Amino acid sequence: MTQLGLFQGSDVLPPSLQEAIEHGEVFTRGWVVELLLDLVGYVPERDLARLVIAEPACGRGAFLGPISRRLGESCRRHGRGLEDALGSVVAYDLLESNVEHSRVLVHQELAAQGWDADEARRCAQHWVGQGDYLLARPTASGADVVVGNPPYIRLEDVPAARMAAYRSAHPTMGGRADVYVGFYEAALRSLNPGGVLGFICADRWMHNQYGARLRELVGREYSVDVVLSMHDVDAFEEQVAAYPAITVLSSRPQGEVVAAEATRSFTPQDAAQLVEWCRAGGGGLERWGVRAVRLPHWFSGGDFWPAASPARLALLEDLTDRFPTLEDPHGATRVSIGVATGADKVFITTDPDIVEPECLLPLAMVRDIASGTFTWQGHYLINPWTPAGNLVCLDDLPRLRRYLTAHAAVLRRRYVAVKQPERWYKTIDKVDHSLIGRSKLLLPDMKTTIHPVLDEGGFYPHHNLYYITSQDWDLRVLGGLLISGIAEAFVHAYGVKMRGGTLRFQAQYLRKIRVPHPGRIGDKVQAALSKAFERRDVAVATEAALDAYGLDHLPD
């Protein structure tokens, strides 16, 4: 069996990185390690000496101890000596003290099983080496299993030169990506065909922008096998706010996925039951400490992966498979955002006489829809655009010229004006005059619940409002679908959650909502949705929406 090569490069760490590593060490509880090893199939019943298992950041041996026990037991079961397993484990750590501690631990574990002390010491020396996993150069074919808890290191704590090397080696580390993103990429690319990766790590990469490249890589080349959310579980030796999840990925075509959620009461007994359930097959698992379902496949591409209970994930996947998105790719139904000016204090007014009447557009603001019905508060957009989409000539509009000139200093400081100084009085967004007379659903950017309100025409939306227009939908019927619990489930699963339970109803999340074709919703259901929208009755809207989607209930 060939062996993975260890780190090639300097073992001397810059002081800032040494400190970051030491501060970023978060050690995993033993029973959680055992759970992860079970989930990746690293069990003594298998001939583990035939496999290569890698531990990218071994720390003080939280994973190496159980790995050594399982590997030693497997060798006895399969009639092997430890010499057969010299190339079966490859562990890295940046800190020399951690390497020495892990070697002692491995030696003790193997000796406690009755293996020869010299053989155990040789394995410990051979298995654990000092090095930077992200800059390692494997000399062999790869790993069959990679497990661990990648370090939690903030981007700003890594020296610039080393971070540049990390990014060059691992292109998924885009934007403000945490270092652990690079560990995922390096581990995945090291897998042999059919190989398995199991990490317990922060799950933020699944749900935010900096994880997009990693999600795209996974969706394109690997399989998501298990996602176990453990946000409330005491999984580490120290208290950390890390939003952890166990993620099992493999180098094979995408197949069935276990989606599970552990509660605060998750115990080793629950973990054992989860493993047994995963192996046995069958329907969903519902215990006090854990809930799990099987999904036929996972959500594809670089888009955000949803965060929800297992039952909700199953619902969302089913609806995603059966229904089109809210925004029609052919443009019949569109989701957009209102006009951004770059200087609201200049371009928004309540004075109808401040410029020429043809330069004022009634503006829809968030406060206009707060009650659930559209009530205009008298704001206007000072509009520098012609219906043809060109900037107006200020010489033809003396009142507008006088007003904008008085505010020229502010307007010229904006980025759009610096970039195009001759167009210094433009708004950031061009005004689409055809939108003014159209009916549209208006939704505020931030609110605790989804809040569509109908503008029957005559107003232009401000940039704190998103809007939906449609050639196919009766917007009252669509509004009824949107206030239902089903539509909100999509935004809850994909959207950003802020303090106090506030959600962001941005276009990228609204576009995730799946809807039935309007022509396939019966008249009775359409009437119920329309009435529920007008009355702001979420319960009735949800009941009618269940009928429209062909569902019998909305799971928690």
Looking at the chain, the whole-number percentage of residues with pLDDT higher than 70 is: 92
pLDDT(488) > 70: yes
Q: Is the pLDDT of residue 241 over 50?
A: no
Cβ 122 vs Cβ 100: under 8 Å: no
Specify the pLDDT at position 441: 98
Paired sense of beta strands 290-295 and 348-349, if any: unpaired
**Average pLDDT value for the chain:** 90
Residues contacting residue 144 through CB under 8 Å, at least 6 positions apart: 51, 52, 53, 191, 192, 194, 195, 196
Q: Per mean pLDDT, which range of 26-35, 43-52, 116-125, 251-260 is the poorest?
A: 26-35
The Cα–Cα gap between 53 and 91 comes to: 8
* Better pLDDT: 137 or 429: 429
Tokens representing residue 411 in the block: 């307007």
H-helix segments, 25-95: 30-39, 64-77
Query: Which amino acid, residue 435?
Result: L
User: Confidence band (pLDDT; 50, 70, 90) for 467?
Assistant: very high
Instruction: Give the residue, 80 or 288, on which the prediction is more confident.
Output: 80
Rounded to two decimals, the pTM is 0.81
3 pLDDT exceeds 60? no
Rounded-to-integer distance, Cα 344 and Cα 338, Å = 13
Read off the pLDDT of residues 344-399 as tens digits, 9 standing for 90 and up: 999 999 999 999 999 999 999 999 999 999 999 999 999 999 999 999 999 999 99
Tokens of 307: 């965060």
Weakest-pLDDT range from 31-45, 172-186, 388-402 = 172-186
Query: Hunting for tokens 């939306």 — which residue is that?
Result: 461
Between CA 203 and CA 277 the distance in angstroms is 23
Interval 156-173: pLDDT, tens: 778 888 888 999 999 999
SS3 content of the chain, % helix, strand, coil (to 5): 40, 20, 40
Contact criterion met (CB below 8 Å) for 187 and 149: no
What lies within 8 Å, CB to CB, of 467 at 6+ separation is 335, 336, 337, 338, 440, 441, 442, 443, 455, 461
Angle between helices 96-112 and 64-77 (to 10 degrees): 30
